[in-house]
Structure 1
Amino acid sequence: MIRRLLARWFASPLPTPLPTPEPSATGSPRMVGLHDAVLDGWFLNATGELLKGFAITADDTLLDVGCGEGVATLFAVRQGASVIFTDSEYDKVRELARQVEAQSQQANLGLVSNSLPLPLAAGCASKVVCMEVLEHITEPEPFMAELVRMGRPGAQYLLSVPAPMGEHLQKGIAPDSYYQAPNHVQIFTPERFAALVEDAGLVIEHRQASGFFWVMGMIFFWASERAAGRDPGGAVRDRIQAPYPPLMESWARTWQDLLTQPEGLAIKQTLDRFMPKSQVIIARKPLATGDTP
């Protein structure tokens, strides 16, 4: 499938590529994945944008629902923002609270919660982040309503879920538990994802999809675990730690080498459109009085 796609790509006019990135230092699959994300507009330290179009300042209070390792929370802390972060796993909240306390002088709050409902006042946040969480939720509509309740009028939202093609491709490779509660119980088409956001009362400002690197990385992870006779029981990316399987290490080197080629970035962008790992929406809560979701 990938070979056919590349053959079609090289047979067609080349899209105008962005400037070729500087080769990154050789690193782990997670570091190569981070470099890949930066190419997609994530973690723009110079402008304070967690994702291009989603800027965080010292005047913001950011709510990070399903914070995991806290990449969004810690980015916001570095911008001087106040943060509220929640996760259903106590250990993750405790470790993130330790890091936040060491880096921030603001008033911050960490909560262990399944978010239905959050024990917070309505309108507590000017920025709301919920990344790779909605696919775990049996009833996403009331969960989304709770996210909207947390944002003040004019609040901006950064939301992401897995893209459907990558999810379907992993079926039969990933263990069955990966598609059972509390793991991935929802698969969102782009249309369903947008409808969930808009029906909750938010206005979509930006959409994008990317992450081919991680679709293939997860497939190599599952294949390695199966070959070793292990069932990781629904592993997610923040649980995949060093030492990485040799297949994942090899894939990371291959992807890194691709990005150093003259047309490497343009090829990446084509593959991201063809088979993204995640789909992202930036949205905003209306300002007008009475425009309640």
Structure 2
Amino acid sequence: MLTVDYERLGAQRGDRVLDLGCGAGRHAFESARRGCVTVASDRDPDELRSVTDMFAAMDDTGEIASQSAQRLAHAVVADATSLPYADASFDRIIAAEVLEHIVDDERAIAELARVLRPGGTIAVTVPAPAAERVCWALSGDYHAPKVPDGHVRIYSSGELRAKLAAAGLYVSDSHGAHGLHTPYWWLRCLVGPRNDSHPLVRAYHRLLVWDITAAPPLTRTLDRLLSAVLPKSTVLYAYKASARTNAASGAELVGDSHAS
């Protein structure tokens, strides 16, 4: 289940892509499938071991076009506030559902801006404020400090845009995502976020799995409608200005590749 729209991100074959806070690797795998040189980064080495195994399996089955999985796609343990990469290392960056976990999010955003090349694009996703406020109100166990590495903030509608702009990243597009998941998380918070065995939670989870695997028109349409009015996630696409553009004209760079 992808949150980021790769067409809006402008990712093309051969692009260098960083998936920061990759978790189980969903966006990193899609980047590799598209022929991007992909780095999956996360603080959790256990997550990255499974991501590395999947990269190897994808290479073995020919799912990614590379002479070796290590050359096209690899995983690196990294701290978002001190990235082990040189300036302007990446053409595209994905930071999906990660910044809400980081206490010093401004430093992490500055690091993302540093390693993004001029003219490159970044997709940042965070929990949408309306849906997230209900989750926090329903359950103290949903967020930090009760949950280790849990959510430490709720981004207001303009806060993330302002923080990206302060780092030299200019938002060119945005949309909501995963509206069908909003009631699911409200339900989980209501019965207890760790109560995976609750019959209503299990039933709703089966619905979401069916939606992801079968993509039936009914649930896909419902998800689009809910994503427009009550999304679970907000997705922002931003660019880093290059020598031949500025904040006023930079939206056209979303489809640009390998410029410097």
Q: Tell me if TM exceeds 0.5.
A: yes
Identity %: 24
Mapped contact 1:124–1:152 kept (Cα < 8 A):
yes
Alignment match of 1:246 (pick from 195, 199, 206): 199
User: 1:212 offset after TM fit, Å?
Assistant: 2.4
- Counterpart of 1:218 in structure 2 is 185
RMSD (Å) for aligned C-alpha atoms: 2.9
User: 1:112 offset after TM fit, Å?
Assistant: 1.4
Q: Which has the larger radius of gyration?
A: 1
Residue 141 of structure 2 is aligned to residue 176 of structure 1: yes
Q: How many residues are treated as equivalent by the alignment?
A: 229
- Counterpart of 1:74 in structure 2 is 29
- Counterpart of 1:186 in structure 2 is 153
Structure-2 change in CA distance of 1:76 and 1:270 (3 Å)? closer
Residue 240 of structure 2 is aligned to residue 275 of structure 1: no
User: 1:179 offset after TM fit, Å?
Assistant: 3.0
Task: Give the secondary-structure state (helix, strand or coil) at the position aligned to 1:209.
Answer: strand
1:66-105 alignment, distance < 5 Å:
66-104=21-59, 105=66
Alignment match of 2:14 (pick from 59, 83, 93): 59
User: 1:164 offset after TM fit, Å?
Assistant: 1.0
Unaligned runs of 5+ in 1: 1-33, 44-49
- Counterpart of 1:162 in structure 2 is 127
User: 1:273 offset after TM fit, Å?
Assistant: 3.0
User: 1:213 offset after TM fit, Å?
Assistant: 1.5
Runs of 4+ in 1 over 4 A off after TM superposition: 252-256
Structure-2 change in CA distance of 1:116 and 1:246 (3 Å)? same
Task: Give the secondary-structure state (helix, strand or coil) at the position aligned to 2:12.
Answer: coil
Letter paired with 1:134: L
Distance 1:124 1:118 in 2: 11
Mapped contact 2:55–2:74 kept (Cα < 8 A):
no
Letter paired with 1:279: T
User: 1:77 offset after TM fit, Å?
Assistant: 0.8
Mapped contact 1:190–1:279 kept (Cα < 8 A):
no
Structure-2 change in CA distance of 1:120 and 1:260 (3 Å)? closer
Distance 1:175 1:134 in 2: 19
Distance 1:125 1:273 in 2: 31
Letter paired with 2:165: E
Task: Give the secondary-structure state (helix, strand or coil) at the position aligned to 1:190.
Answer: coil
User: 1:245 offset after TM fit, Å?
Assistant: 4.1
Distance 1:87 1:208 in 2: 25
User: 1:175 offset after TM fit, Å?
Assistant: 3.6
User: 1:90 offset after TM fit, Å?
Assistant: 0.8
Mapped contact 2:125–2:233 kept (Cα < 8 A):
yes
Deviation by residue 1:80-129 (Cα, 9 ceiling, x = unmatched): 11111111111011110121133242343321122221111111111101
